[in-house]
Amino acid sequence: MKVTLQFIANKAHVSKSLVSKVLNDKPVRVSSEKRSRILKLAQHYGYQPRGAGADEHSTLARLKRKSVIGLIQPGLDFLFLSKLTDAIEQSAREKGYQTMIFNTHEDPAIERRCLEILSTGIVDGLIVNACDNVANLEYFEKLKRQELPMVFVDRYLYDLDLSFVTADNRAGAYRLTEKLIERGHRNILFVFHGKSIFTSVQMDRFEGYQQAMEANGLDSVKEYIYSDRPLSYQPIFRMYGSARKFTAVVLATTWDVEQLGELVGCIGADGRVDVAAFDSFSLTYPLEFQQNTVQNLNEIFIMEQDHRAMGQKAFQLLYNTMQHAQQEPQRIYIKPRLLEPQDMRQNVETERKESIQSQ
């Protein structure tokens, strides 16, 4: 349905000329009731002024600009995601925008409800960190058809031609796996974060791991950790109890580092394992956490994503789209940084001191 001035005029039972003058702030004698009705109808039906001469300072244009963006995150209890959220919120605030934050808890049903809310026009634009690559594709396509400015950050959808900013996950995972191979490991397990298996991030990281294993003539093996399951119900529990022992693990994300440490210890795996994973992590204090969990992990290699650069670039892409300065979808891959074990030990010691000082 095409919404024209005449369409609004018919709905409001007034002339087309009156509608045009009201929407463009032209001098006209009209009651406040009729003016309000015209504006509400124009907003409700999504009327768009035609032509380059449309007045961007009109009453309708001002009403349309809410100076609010939406941000959908799959969780806020993970260090990388909380820092990414802060970077986006700060970038938006510097441009005069407030950020409405939605937490999907890695649940496509919750994400779907968030998208339904956002489709009502309550925000000027949207930044999304999707919790699944395909589950809500039709809802994202609907928002795209509605021409809601939208950018993906961290996780994006393969089948949706929209701008995104993410880490170079394939190259990062390849380097992490290569690091373990350089240390003499041959039996290296890849572990998915079970609640977000079908995301671009995890699929790209697994592909990087596979490529490194294949390049060195080694077999790829994958398993899963589910953060909401007891240890004895984890698939990896059964694998470690089998005849084959893995001496190193590539974790898709350090979100699961605590569960991995507990699993390795409670099933009596021979020795300790080296771990390579994406994203820095905070240790829970008091120090009993380290004694019960991290003692089962040997060296830890981290591929750290630049949350600040990702957040700033994601908002800038969205801002350009909202200002109609961004015409073609942009795909930005940011190179992550490898942290050696000595870097991690320094970070842990710094966090320990900060924790003690805050008590």
Residue 74, pLDDT > 70, answer yes
Q: Which residues contact 222 (CB under 8 A, 6 or more apart)?
A: 189, 190, 191, 192, 206
In this structure, the number of other CB atoms found within 10 A of the CB of residue 77 comes to: 9
Angle, to 10 degrees, between the axis of helix 307-322 and the axis of helix 79-94? 40
- The whole-chain average pLDDT of the chain stands at 85
Q: How far apart are CA 203 and CA 266, in angstroms?
A: 29
The pLDDT of residue 190 is above 50: yes
DSSP 28-40: ----HHHHHHHHH
CA distance 174 to 230: 31
Cα(349)–Cα(359) distance, integer angstroms? 16
**What DSSP element (H or E) covers 245?**
none
Cα–Cα–Cα angle for 327, 129, 161, rounded to 5 degrees = 35
Distance in angstroms (rounded) separating the CA atoms of residues 122 and 70 = 9
Strand 337-339 to strand 297-304: parallel, antiparallel, or no bridges (unpaired)? antiparallel
Q: Which helix (H) or strand (E) holds 92?
A: helix 79-94
Tell whether the model's pLDDT for residue 77 goes beyond 80: yes
Of residues 317 and 36, more confidently modeled? 317
257, 275 in Cβ contact below 8 A? yes
Rounded to whole angstroms, the Cα distance separating 96 from 90 reads 10
Locate 355 and state its tokens.
Answer: 């924790």
Bridge partners, 314 (sequence order): none
pLDDT at 67 over 80: yes
Task: Look at residues 123, 127, 140 and name the one whose alpha carbon lies nearest to residue 87.
Answer: 127
Average pLDDT over residues 1-26: 86
Q: Which residues lie across from 188 on neighbouring strands?
A: 248
For the ranges 29-38, 133-142, 269-278, 287-296, which has the lowest average pLDDT?
287-296
State whether the Cα torsion 231-236-237-238 is positive or negative.
Answer: positive
Q: How crowded is residue 281: how many other Cβ atoms within 10 Å of its Cβ? A: 21
Tokens of 60: 């309708």
At 339 the pLDDT is 92
Peptide bond into 74 cis (omega under 30): no
Residues 71/101, Cβ–Cβ less than 8 Å: yes
Q: Over 70: is that where the pLDDT of 243 sits?
A: no
Tell me how far CA of residue 336 lies from CA of 20, 172, 304, 307, in angstroms: 52, 7, 5, 10
The CATH number of the structural domain formed by 68-154+308-327 is 3.40.50.2300
Contacts of residue 140, defined as CB under 8 A and 6 or more positions apart, other chains included, come to 115, 128, 130, 150, 157, 160, 162
**CA torsion through residues 249, 255, 256, 257, sign:** positive
Please say whether the beta carbons of 255 and 106 come within 8 A.
no
Q: Class of the 5-64 domain?
A: mainly alpha
Total length of the chain: 359
Q: Hey, what are 70's tokens?
A: 């939406």
Q: What is the CATH number of domain 169-304+338-358?
A: 3.40.50.2300
Percent of all residues in the chain with a pLDDT value above 90, rounded to a whole number: 52
Give yes or no on whether 68-154+308-327 and 169-304+338-358 have one common fold: yes
Instruction: List the chain domain ranges.
Output: 5-64, 68-154+308-327, 169-304+338-358
Predicted confidence (pLDDT) per residue in 123-146, tens digit: 999 999 999 999 999 999 999 988
CA pseudo-torsion sign 5, 8, 11, 16 = negative
Q: Within 13 Å, how many C-alpha atoms sit on residue 221's CB side?
A: 16
DSSP 335: P
pLDDT classification of 288: cutoffs 50, 70, 90: low
For residue 125, give the DSSP letter.
Answer: E
